[in-house]
Amino acid sequence: MIVKLGQIAHARSGDKGNLVNIGVIAYQAEAYAVLLREVTAARVKAHFADRIEGDVERFELPNLGALNFVCRDALMGGGTLSLLSDAQGKLFGGGVLSLRIELQESEIKFLQHASYPTVTRII
């Protein structure tokens, strides 16, 4: 089943200079394995192809059921230099939640109810 990442995880993003970091957190601890399998650095980079000019590196936090993505050259210079309305990369967190991921039959239990404000729960 194809779903959106926001149906099993939440996220927050922020900046450091010209770099954006996106923390992605599984709602249920057991869903961390799905994040590990489905949410790769390459897929995050492709998801933000028009925004991230540099590479994307993934770090694992199994203790929090979370992944951290460090995206380089993502803010047109960053800080005061940036010309973007989202100069601090605040919207990458919400943005990554529309990434499409695949769930196995046994993983449907990870789908969250009130977690993702889209008209389509399951796509």
Q: Out of 18, 38, 39, 101, which residue is the one contacting other proteins (CB under 8 A)? A: 18
H/E stretch holding 11 reads strand 9-16
**76, 4 Cβ separation under 8 angstroms:** no
Pair of tokens at residue 20: 């954006």
Q: Which is nearer to other proteins, 4 or 104 (CB)?
A: 4
Scanning 20-28, 32-40, 41-49, 100-108 for contacts with other proteins by CB under 8 A, the matching segment is: 20-28
Binding residues for other proteins restricted to 57-116, rule: CB under 8 A:
59-66, 68, 70, 76-77, 79-81, 83-85, 90, 93-94, 97, 112, 114-115
> Could you give the CA distance from residue 7 to residue 9 in angstroms, rounded to a whole number?
6
Beta-ladder partners of 70 = 21, 57
Nearest-angstrom CA–CA distance, 106 and 35: 15
Instruction: Report, in Å, the least distance between residue 85 CB and other proteins.
Output: 6
Residue showing tokens 């499409």: 100
Instruction: Using CB under 8 A, list all residues that contact other proteins.
Output: 10-12, 14-19, 21, 23, 25, 27, 59-66, 68, 70, 76-77, 79-81, 83-85, 90, 93-94, 97, 112, 114-115, 117
